[in-house]
Structure 1
Amino acid sequence: MRLFVLGGSGGTGAQVVAQALDAGHRVSVLARRPESMPRQARLTIVRGDVLRPEGWRHELAGHDAVISCLGSADRRPTVVYSQGTAAIVAAMRGCGVRRLSCVTSASLGLSPAAPVPQRLLIVRVVRPLYRHVYADMEKLERIVATAGDLDWTIVRPPRLTNGALTGQYVTAVDGHLPRTRSLSRADLAHYLLHHLDDRATRRATVEISGG
């Protein structure tokens, strides 16, 4: 499979790239600083900025799927999720690529069954602290959910760690898990890669948690 990865220099994106290459896929990664990325067989590094698609959108042609791990740890207002995703969707349409998988956050849709302490922490602390990030993630989800001509999946993970790959996680498609546990970036990457062909997740939002 030929994969185009955005956010490949981040924690989750780097795991996606490494695991995809180990599995024998051909991978293209968009990078603002290509010199910071290691050279490997079956890896193509595309110089560009997701917010300036005119410099990279033609590189999407011929790929089977796009995996977006775009992210920002900055508390200031951001458009990387929304405008970046809008650029991705437009580029995919222009190149005839249909499969898109992207990452947001489980905090966008809390389960009514979530423990009260967890709900209070997210609602009163986490979301206010990163309100600009979550606001832009919400825009991302609206952009993707209205891209009816694409086979999209939105994956909502909980707090991410740098733990090892276990392959142990639970998911809920278009629904909520009763509670969530932290998940390693390696396991999130594993899910993203292993469910690209899962038709049950197409045009769906998936909540994922550590097992």
Structure 2
Amino acid sequence: MKLMLFGVTGGTGAQLLTQALAAGHQVTAVARDPARIPVTDPGAQLTVLPGDVLAPETPEAAEAAEAWRQAVTGHDAVLSCLGSTDRKHPTTVYSEGTRNIVEAMRASGVHRLLCLSSAGLEVTPAVPLPQRLVTRYVIQRLYRHGYADMARMESFVRSPAADGTVWTVVRPPMLTDGPLTGTYRTAENAALERPKSLSRADLAHYLLTHVDDRRAHRAVVEIAY
């Protein structure tokens, strides 16, 4: 497949990029700082483009944004691992970034999108009580800005503004740097019973191996061990 990846300098994105290249896919990776992309020997299967998914603030940034937008054409799918590590300030990287990606996809005739959200967005009865309390009173408060923007992103992909996009929103639990196992549980548009942690490697594995999974089309997917 020909895949366009965003967020490849983060933990999950780096795993996704590595696994996609190892599987023989042709990859276009977009990053604000291409020097941080964790591939030392890219080879013929990787194209790296500088670019920011948010509104460009300089002529140089605008030129880079136009370059990645034009490059969307011809890809089979777009996989986004966008995220923010800033807990103190509001962010729009999830909502505005995803909106800009979808607009570029629609202009290019590309329909398949997989993107990341978080299981912490909703606390269901399927989650054990101690975990529910920690999520509600600690995690949701600590990451309130990120969660608020993830909620806006999920609302956008469900809205008429994203019509024609075959989206999958993936909600992982607490992520770890554990190994790739290829063994995990998922639930489409349903709560996952007693979700535990998940390695970034396995999260990347799910994204990469479910591009063509029709069960995940226009679905919010919970995933965990």
What's 2:76 paired with?
64
Distance 1:186 1:129 in 2: 24
What's 1:84 paired with?
97
Q: Secondary structure at the match of 1:20?
A: helix
Distance 1:207 1:165 in 2: 18
Distance 2:132 2:85 in 1: 21
- Corresponding pairs, count: 210
What's 2:132 paired with?
119
Q: Is the 8 A contact 1:111 1:178 kept in 2?
A: no
What's 1:187 paired with?
202
What's 1:40 paired with?
42
* Deviation >6 Å, runs of 4+: none
Distance 1:168 1:201 in 2: 17
Counterpart selection for 2:86 from 74, 78, 90: 74
Q: Is the 8 A contact 2:12 2:81 kept in 1?
A: yes
Distance 1:5 1:140 in 2: 17
Distance 1:61 1:24 in 2: 20
What's 2:4 paired with?
4
Distance 2:152 2:47 in 1: 30
What's 2:193 paired with?
178
Q: Secondary structure at the match of 2:193?
A: coil
Length-normalised TM-score, structure 2: 0.91
Distance 1:3 1:56 in 2: 13
Q: Secondary structure at the match of 1:56?
A: helix
What's 1:29 paired with?
29
Q: Unaligned stretches of 5+ in structure 2? A: 56-64
Following superposition, the deviation at residue 111 of structure 1 comes to 2.2
Identical residues among aligned pairs (%): 56
Q: Is the 8 A contact 1:111 1:179 kept in 2?
A: no
Q: Secondary structure at the match of 2:221?
A: strand
Following superposition, the deviation at residue 91 of structure 1 comes to 0.5
Q: Secondary structure at the match of 2:83?
A: coil
Q: Is the 8 A contact 2:123 2:136 kept in 1?
A: no
Following superposition, the deviation at residue 65 of structure 1 comes to 0.1
Q: Is the 8 A contact 1:114 1:179 kept in 2?
A: yes
Distance 1:139 1:18 in 2: 29
Residue identity opposite 2:46 in structure 1? L
Residue identity opposite 2:112 in structure 1? R
What's 2:58 paired with?
none
Length-normalised TM-score, structure 1: 0.97
Residue identity opposite 2:21 in structure 1? L
Counterpart selection for 2:213 from 195, 198, 207: 198
Deviation sequence 1:143-191 (CA, Å, 0-9, x none)? 1122231111000000000110001100000000121111000000000
Following superposition, the deviation at residue 109 of structure 1 comes to 2.2
Following superposition, the deviation at residue 36 of structure 1 comes to 2.9
Following superposition, the deviation at residue 204 of structure 1 comes to 0.5
Q: Is the 8 A contact 2:3 2:77 kept in 1?
A: yes
Following superposition, the deviation at residue 55 of structure 1 comes to 4.3
